[in-house]
Amino acid sequence: MRVKLSYTAEIDEVPIEAALLLGNLADMFLESIELYREMIGDLNGEELNSDKFHKNMVTLRGNLGKIDARCVEVEQVISGLGDYHRQVRQLVLQKSEAEELPRDDAETAENDVKDD
């Protein structure tokens, strides 16, 4: 059963936290590579134990599924961070453009925003 976890971090800590989430997969990657190599060796061996091979394949596929799920989660976090940064840049741009308007135009633009 999968359970969704969440926690908060400062916006500037998001890339660091994402790196930690990916870094936690290192052992699983190494285990998967070792298992993969073992399976190749078993297939190239003289006698194949199909039960052992099947068990290893189930484990490998499970690991790859977990790795993929974590990659998707981290990708979504970083995508959200990118969206946040784009919104901030847009707000800064809008603010600087509003400050450049003559006083009467700025009030008109402000009233237009309030009317929406």
Q: What is the pLDDT of residue 74?
A: 95
Whose CA is closest to 65, among 25, 38, 35, 6?
A: 25
In a domain, 7, yes or no: no
Count of residues making up the chain: 116
33 pLDDT above the threshold of 90: yes
Whose CA is closest to 31, among 56, 50, 1?
A: 56
In a domain, 41, yes or no: yes
In a domain, 75, yes or no: yes
pLDDT, average across residues 1-7: 83
Domains in the chain, number: 1
- pLDDT tens-digit readout, 44-98: 999 999 999 999 999 999 999 999 999 999 999 999 999 999 999 999 888 888 8
Q: With a threshold of 0.85, does the pTM exceed it?
A: no
In a domain, 22, yes or no: yes
In a domain, 103, yes or no: yes
In a domain, 2, yes or no: no
In a domain, 8, yes or no: no
pLDDT, average across residues 26-50: 95
- H-helix segments, 1-116: 14-23, 26-44, 50-100, 103-115
Contacts of 43 (CB under 8 A, 6+ apart): 53
Full residue range of the structural domain in which residue 73 is found: 14-115
